[in-house]
Amino acid sequence: MKKLLIALLILLLAACSKSVPYSDETIKNDLRVPAYPLLMLHPHLRLWSTADQLTEKNMIFTNGKNLPFVGFLRVDGTMYRFMGSRDLPMQAIATMAYDYESWEGKFTSLRPDEGWEQPDFNDQYWQVSEGAFGTRDRRETRTPWLSTDIWVRREIVDIDPYLLENKKIYLRYSYDDILQLYINGKLVVSADRAAANLKVELPDSILNTMKEGKALIAAHCENKKGSALIDFGLFAEEPGILVEGIAPVSNEKEWIGKYTTEQPEEGWEMAAFNDSTWAQGSAAFGTEGGPSVGTPWNTNRLWIRREVSFDPSLVKNRQLFVRYSYNDGMQLLINGKELVRTGTKARNDVKVQIPDSILETMKDGKALFAARCVNWGGTSFADFGLYGELKEAGQKSVDVQATQTHYIFACGDVELKLTFTAPYLLDDLELLSRPVNYISYQAKALDGKEHDVAIYFEMDPHKAFRAGQSTEMYEKDGWVMMKTGRENQKLWVDKLKDAPAWGYFYLGAKENATYAQGDAAEMRAHFMKEGDLKEMRRSNEKRYAAIAQKLEMNSEFPQHLIAAFDGLYTMAYFGEDLRPYWNKDGDRTIEGLYEDAEKVYKETMARCYAFDRQLMENACRVGGKEYAELCASAYRQAVSSFQMSKDSSDELLYFTTLVGSLDIYYAASPLFLCYNPDLLKAMLNPFFYYSESGKWNKPFPAHDLGGYPFVNGQAKGGDLPVEHAGNMLIMVAAMAKAEKDASYAKVHWETLSKWAGYLVENGVDTGKQIDTDSFAGRYSHNANLSAKGILGIASYALLAKMLDKQEDAEKYLAAAKRMAEEWEKQASDGDHYRLAFDQMDSWGQKYNLIWDKLLDLHVFPDRVVELETAFYRTKLNTYGCPLHGKTDYAKADWTVWAAALQNDRFMFREFILPLYNYMNENKWRVPMADTYNVVNQKTRVTSWGRPVTGAYFIKLLEAVLDVKGNNIVSKDEMNCSR
């Protein structure tokens, strides 16, 4: 066992070594994570894929906002989309709160005078505020609406004439309950049933009133009862991006087909069938007078045949799909093979991809569409057409490692490997602080032949920031660069929550790269034809930015893009504007950052692969394959939540956007204790400064120090005295034990002594104090909180012992043990211990007891953990054990800590497996949640993407701290295979 422990510690240290040979081998992670980490550049600029196929959706920010970032691989002239959605989002002329934006409008709750909807109405006495307007239960609400009626006016100016002339313009709107909406005095919407995110194309009669670039949107909304909302905006729709109407539906182009209302003979769906006796008619088929109806259909059944001829090369070079509409039912076949069989509910404009089994029959450029249509009464309709678009790459695998996410795609006869790397190795502060990610790609032939291959990345960078953004593309020192950010940035002005309000986002490539900025359709068409990019003709359309690069086939090492974010400053720290650590002296440029990142690319990739392998192997050896996969999936989420700076006294600071809160740092601490305790010190430094500077005079730590960007004191409200005094003392003791050095505690001894004294003075019973789990109910005399306080005192005793303060060590350890005895008497409830001392027949997790084990304190008798963990096993539900008996909620971080109380690795796995299953089956596709329902997935998660996933590393921390009874096994004993 000792040899295994030593070997594991050596591996933990060696994984980050700079002299690592390159190998792209991984230990495959089979966990289907709720959200795949892609680009992790800043706490406010983290991008995820929430779909199992990278082509299913666009990537999103942590807050759910969409970023159109699309990738194509061109193989011998055929384009394959491997990343991003097929459909481009609408371009915002006037944003909508539904899209996580805000807008300004005037409103009143008093019935206005006649003509209130007209542009020239005098609204000077109306109130001005942010939209959307609604009740607080609606996510979109920026301004509360509490009355029955509300009237809203929103003026939109400087509408780009190019959009009005070249694109379809839509009004999008959400409302609850009754709505009348006007544009420039003309009624556009009148509706009486609540709905969300509807859209209506504006007719010429409305567009003609907007030619001067102005639109006045006026809305009256009435709320009958309950939830209320009014939200709207104007948008321009992108044209179909290289979608070819091979045989379009009837509202795009008239088509002729054969039809009959009599039951046809067998084989009617085959091309060879003789349909000479069938009637001929123009589509669509349906109720006379209906839209696009060319041939009336008023029977229960109708059979239609449509012959289509097309260029046979489209079968190979395009993704073929069918658009169809029906009322009430349809069976649709191509060349005798069934493609669609619907239910009896009418649908309009449905898209379905043609599978390979049918495409095989279409290689000669001929297709016989045969439809059997039914109508059960009322309106009838039938229409269908054939289309081609750019092909979609076939995703073969996805693998989430600690620092990287790997995808493999089949693109015809070429395989593409795509890797997103956030090289955040915790023992290398320069690398960790560098806001740089790599997007690597490598192509190899599957058929052993030569191929002409190029890659294309396209982004709508204006989605990265909010209003007032500009984007430029340029070349410098061999780099092709895209830079985007808000114009006229003023430091610490216009603060926006959950968005990068300051700084610039960059994308750059160096080898054989070309670039363009302009219309997406034009850029894609040029790349498909030529395999590169150039200046686009439509210079007045600069929304999209693209970079293309020729690929070397079967190369030993991948080519890459570099994504970066220059945040300019990290925060205003007690009046001092701090720069990011990588540019702490303010003398470095983004181009220099790119050069530094490029120089160490190969070395960094080798280190990341090595670290990822070792983390998976080490975690597997201490906790099993599922535990290892959870740790790998959690790593980037935790680390990317932080920024790093130094203050004017050269003290290292490492912090989340809300500096603290301490209960979050406490949960995240095991990860940093494993790999670099100095970073945990950097998290705690601001709290020591706040207390020791006299800015905070209470005998316990603050909960937090303020939110991004202003760090000037506690911002989140109520104190948590025992909670945070215990947190600080435990974390400092854990650092000392991990480093075998208590010098950090010595520097802050007076403050630590004050906090330890507070815990002793407040005794076992914490009274009405709240704890970190109060979201699941507030319970006075909380036993878990009391245990934390007691272990905080014992942690102080451990520190005193390490500093040769023997008298203090004995005094405080004796106090902790005495209090633990009292705790057991008050908390005992037969076969377990109570949630709260005054509540018989209650129970709750005592996950804080893990530190008694990790720090080797021996304050609580072994029977406490034995009874508790045995009792938890009786409370396991579908997705684990709830926090206590009065809730169905669990915390993922505390679940792993409770599991780690077990010395038996099989019992540990028994607790971990339900958490693993929750993440694997999670239907709320957000970054890893820490608060969730253990019974089912009907309840929406409310906390996700937070650094508390660092808590998962508690079992690895056992090995680092050399805890007795830790079950480290050899690689051969557990399923750690690649």
What is the percentage of the chain residues whose pLDDT exceeds 70? 94
- Whether 812 and 942 share a structural domain: yes
Q: Is the pLDDT of residue 201 over 80?
A: yes
Positive/negative CA dihedral, 611, 615, 621, 622: positive
Q: Is the pLDDT of residue 16 over 60?
A: no
- Whether 174 and 274 share a structural domain: no
**pLDDT for the residue numbered 870:** 96
Q: Is the pLDDT of residue 916 over 70?
A: yes
**pLDDT for the residue numbered 316:** 87
- Whether 404 and 297 share a structural domain: no
- Predicted confidence band at 969 (pLDDT cuts at 50, 70, 90)? low
Q: What is the count of structural domains for the chain?
A: 4
Q: What is the pLDDT of residues 334-361, one digit of tens each?
A: 999 999 999 988 998 999 999 999 999 9
Q: What is the pLDDT of residues 129-186, one digit of tens each?
A: 999 999 999 999 999 999 999 999 999 999 988 888 888 899 999 999 999 999 999 9
Q: What is the pLDDT of residues 747-788, one digit of tens each?
A: 999 999 999 999 999 979 999 998 888 877 888 999 999 999
Residue 40 CA to residue 529 CA, distance in Å, equals 33
Contact 775, 931 (CB under 8 A): yes
State how far the alpha carbon of 121 is from the alpha carbons of 155, 171, 186, 210, 219, in Å. Answer: 12, 22, 14, 17, 14
CATH number of the domain bearing residue 59: 2.70.98.40
Q: What's the residue count for the chain?
A: 978
Q: Return the residue matching tokens 């678009």.
A: 389
SS3 call for 977: coil
Which residues, 6 or more positions from 637, have their beta carbon under 8 angstroms from its beta carbon?
A: 37, 927, 928, 945, 946, 947, 949
Contact 400, 632 (CB under 8 A): yes
**pLDDT for the residue numbered 500:** 59
Which of the listed ranges 240-244, 485-489, 800-804, 899-903 does the model predict with the highest average pLDDT? 800-804
18 domain residue, yes or no: no
How would you class 895 by CB atoms within 10 Å of its CB: exposed for 0-12, middle for 13-18, buried for 19 or more? Answer: buried
Biggest CA pair distance of the chain: 108
CA 524: distance to chain centroid? Answer: 27
Q: What is the pLDDT of residues 80-103, one digit of tens each?
A: 999 999 877 778 899 999 988 889
- Whether 617 and 494 share a structural domain: no
Of 437, 471, 450, give the one whose Cα is nearest residue 560: 437
Residue 817 CA to residue 729 CA, distance in Å, equals 16
Residue 82 CA to residue 70 CA, distance in Å, equals 8
CA angle 843/849/851 to nearest 5° reads 160
What mean pLDDT is predicted for residues 850-855? 98
Q: Is the pLDDT of residue 523 over 60?
A: yes
- Whether 703 and 849 share a structural domain: yes
**pLDDT for the residue numbered 966:** 62
**pLDDT for the residue numbered 938:** 83
Range of the domain at 102: 93-237
- Whether 811 and 894 share a structural domain: yes
| Last residue of one domain, picked from the residues 196, 211, 237 | 237
Of 60, 241, 285, give the one whose Cα is nearest residue 944: 60
CATH number of the domain bearing residue 906: 1.50.10.10
591 domain residue, yes or no: no
- What is the DSSP secondary-structure string of 62-76? TTS-EE-EEEEEEET
Q: Is the pLDDT of residue 976 over 70?
A: no
62 domain residue, yes or no: yes
- Which residues on adjacent β-strands are paired with residue 405? 400, 420
- Predicted confidence band at 662 (pLDDT cuts at 50, 70, 90)? very high
Of 372, 375, 369, 343, give the one whose Cα is nearest residue 264: 372
**pLDDT for the residue numbered 978:** 43
- Predicted confidence band at 57 (pLDDT cuts at 50, 70, 90)? very high
Residue 238 CA to residue 271 CA, distance in Å, equals 37
* Of residues 492 and 841, more confidently modeled: 841
Q: Is the pLDDT of residue 821 over 90?
A: yes
- Predicted confidence band at 537 (pLDDT cuts at 50, 70, 90)? low
- Predicted confidence band at 501 (pLDDT cuts at 50, 70, 90)? low
What mean pLDDT is predicted for residues 466-473? 78
- Whether 345 and 220 share a structural domain: no
Q: What is the pLDDT of residues 231-273, one digit of tens each?
A: 999 998 865 556 789 999 998 899 999 999 999 999 999 999 9
577 domain residue, yes or no: no
What mean pLDDT is predicted for residues 794-810? 98
User: Within a 13 Å sphere around the CA of 371, how many CA atoms are in the beta-carbon half?
Assistant: 29
**pLDDT for the residue numbered 86:** 82
Q: Which amino acid is at 903?
A: N
CATH number of the domain bearing residue 341: 2.60.120.260
- Whether 64 and 115 share a structural domain: no
Question: What SS3 string covers 805-830?
Answer: CHHHHHHHHHHHHHHHHHHHHHHECC
405: tokens are 């996410």
What is the percentage of the chain residues whose pLDDT exceeds 90? 79
Mean pLDDT, all residues of the chain:
92
Q: Is the pLDDT of residue 789 over 50?
A: yes
Which residues, 6 or more positions from 813, have their beta carbon under 8 angstroms from its beta carbon?
A: 794, 797, 798, 801, 859
Q: Is the pLDDT of residue 540 over 50?
A: no
- Whether 76 and 111 share a structural domain: no
- Whether 312 and 430 share a structural domain: no
- Whether 67 and 120 share a structural domain: no
Q: Is the pLDDT of residue 841 over 50?
A: yes
| Last residue of one domain, picked from the residues 237, 261, 294 | 237
Q: Are strands 513-518 and 469-476 parallel, antiparallel or unpaired?
A: unpaired
Contact 170, 200 (CB under 8 A): yes
SS3 call for 383: strand
Q: What is the pLDDT of residues 708-732, one digit of tens each?
A: 888 988 887 689 999 999 999 999 9
Residue 107 CA to residue 458 CA, distance in Å, equals 39
Contact 808, 746 (CB under 8 A): no
805 domain residue, yes or no: yes
**pLDDT for the residue numbered 272:** 96
**pLDDT for the residue numbered 810:** 98
| Last residue of one domain, picked from the residues 212, 237, 262 | 237
**pLDDT for the residue numbered 539:** 43
SS3 call for 59: strand
Q: What is the pLDDT of residues 381-427, one digit of tens each?
A: 999 999 998 899 999 999 999 999 999 999 999 999 999 999 999 99
Q: Is the pLDDT of residue 327 over 80?
A: yes
15 domain residue, yes or no: no
539 domain residue, yes or no: yes
950: tokens are 């660092």
- What is the DSSP secondary-structure string of 452-487? -EEEEEEE-GGGTS-SSEEEEEEEETTEEEEEEEES
163 domain residue, yes or no: yes
Q: Is the pLDDT of residue 20 over 90?
A: no
- Whether 217 and 328 share a structural domain: no
Contact 770, 722 (CB under 8 A): no
Of 377, 370, 316, give the one whose Cα is nearest residue 344: 377
